[in-house]
Amino acid sequence: MRFLFLMLIWASMTAWAAPTDDDLDRQALEKGLVAQLGDHFSQARQSMSGKASELVVQAMGLLGVPYRRGGANENTGFDCSGFVRHLYEQSIGLVLPRRADEQAKATQSIDRNELKPGDLVFFNTMRRTFSHVGIYLGDGKFIHSPHTGSSVRVDDMREAYWNKRFTGARRVESVEAEKQR
């Protein structure tokens, strides 16, 4: 799974437009990733659906965008739920609710061990369940817009802080998300 994370970082360096399979293969070959990762590159790419892959690529492209309470776009900044909502709308075309707790209600609960790239992960960071949300990347990593004074970044869910506050994993089902439009 470490290789999936490396592939995701590589993907963040690619263009904003959704890459085709040929583009991903060509760019990976040019950057030497295929040689470095071997079969893990192919396995990681096959494990992600096209839409999840696009969502993750776009998410990684937003690394460093500043946190802004109530923020919902890359020009002015994001809060956690604005970041998730923006990515799902831009990459998949689904409009999720605005708040993290509402996003949790509108999505399907899954076990932590069922997480796949693109799934949502929720945390209790404000003394209430589902007060923070991020997007799972694989290998225990997630991308999110954490708090004032920070910016969009990748963290490890297994770190003590996040592990202690983890409150659930959810999968976005298109039917539920579309109801929120």
Chain segment 123-171, per-residue pLDDT in tens: 999 999 999 999 999 999 999 999 999 999 999 999 999 999 999 999 9
Indicate which residues carry an active-site annotation. 80, 132, 144
How many helices (H) and strands (E) in the chain? Answer: 9, 8
Rounded CA-CA distance 114/136 in Å is 11
Which string of DSSP letters, residue by residue, matches 55-123?
Answer: HHHHHHTTTTPBB-TT-EETTTEE-HHHHHHHHIIIII-----SSHHHHHHTSEEE-GGG--TT-EEEE
CATH topology for 72-179 is endopeptidase fold (from Nostoc punctiforme) (3.90.1720)
Q: Residues 149, 136: contact at Cβ < 8 Å?
A: no
Residue 180 reports pLDDT greater than 60: no
Pairing of strands 77-78, 108-110: unpaired
pLDDT value of residue 170: 98
> Token digits for 159?
């770190």
Residue 175 reports pLDDT greater than 90: no
Residue 13 reports pLDDT greater than 80: no
Helices 50-60 + 80-87 axis angle, to 10: 130
Per-residue pLDDT tens digits for 24-33: 455 445 544 4
Q: CA gyration radius for the chain? A: 16
> Token digits for 89?
């709308």
pTM higher than the cut 0.95 = no
- The one-letter amino acid code at 175 reads V
Q: Residues 3, 40: contact at Cβ < 8 Å?
A: yes
Q: What would the mean pLDDT of 43-65 be, rounded to a whole number?
A: 80
